[in-house]
Amino acid sequence: MDNTPISDALALRATASAFDAQRGKLPVPADPHRSPDAVAVARQISELGKLIADLGDEVLFRAAGQDQAPHTARVITSFAAAVEPAGEAASALGAVAHQLAFLNQTESLRDQPDARDAREAAVRVMEDALATADAALRDGANSLHAASATVSPPSVRLQAARSRSTTAVPAMGQLPSGVTTVVASSSDRLARGR
């Protein structure tokens, strides 16, 4: 594997897509086709564990490299920072698995008032945990997509457009010659705003 800006940008994008894919697999309590199920949640926790291991491998590969490119530190930082949202999502899904186990254990007691209240609370905890997992995975994907954009070189079309550009943008504070400015007083601005 090489360590070029393009290959690193592609690796960041691929990892961002893995976050998006995990987000797409999250259970949805109100959807009968995607409702939380203990086996699916446990499988997703395992997949997130693999994603965390992959993130660690990406960091290790680049950190151990002898010849680090100028952009490598940003790439390492981006992969390392993505471990946190992946871990947060896995932890939240652990809470979902815990609540699913509780709901399974108390299924026979669901008609008793105390058990009913506890089961309703478990569902709320599960919904909050799923929202946390969703937000964490979204944040991780967005961060990796943004990092990819900063690492990848500008496209050939953009470079060509820049080279053809003849317009120079004046620096802040400089005006073209012959242009004067008039600053309105605050009372003038208030009167015009009414």
CA nearest 74: which of 132, 139, 142, 151? 151
Looking at the structure of the chain, the number of domains it has is 1
* Confidence at residue 169, expressed as pLDDT on a 0 to 100 scale: 54
Is residue 175 included in any domain, yes or no?
Answer: no
- Please check the confidence at residue 174 and state whether its pLDDT lies above 60: no
Higher per-residue confidence, 173 vs 110: 110
Does 144 map to a domain? yes
Q: Is residue 185 part of a domain?
A: no
For residue 187, how many C-alpha atoms fall within 13 Å in the half-sphere facing its CB? 0
In a domain, 192, yes or no: no
Q: pTM of the full predicted structure? A: 0.77
User: What is the predicted pLDDT for the residue at 163?
Assistant: 73
Whether 168 maps to a domain, the answer reads no
CATH of the domain at 10: 1.20.120
The pLDDT score that the predictor gives to residue 189 is 46
* Residue 173 in this model has a pLDDT that exceeds 70: no
pLDDT tens digits, one per residue of 63-92 = 998 778 788 999 999 999 999 999 999 999
Distances (CA, A) of 79 to 35, 56, 74, 91, 151: 31, 8, 9, 19, 12
Domain assignment present for residue 80? The answer is yes
152-172 pLDDT, tens digit per residue, is: 866 666 566 667 766 655 555
d(CA 83, CA 144) in angstroms, rounded, equals 11
**Residue type for position 45:** I
Range of the domain at 136: 5-155
What are the tens digits of pLDDT across the range 11-65?
A: 999 999 999 999 999 999 888 888 899 999 999 999 999 999 999 999 999 999 8
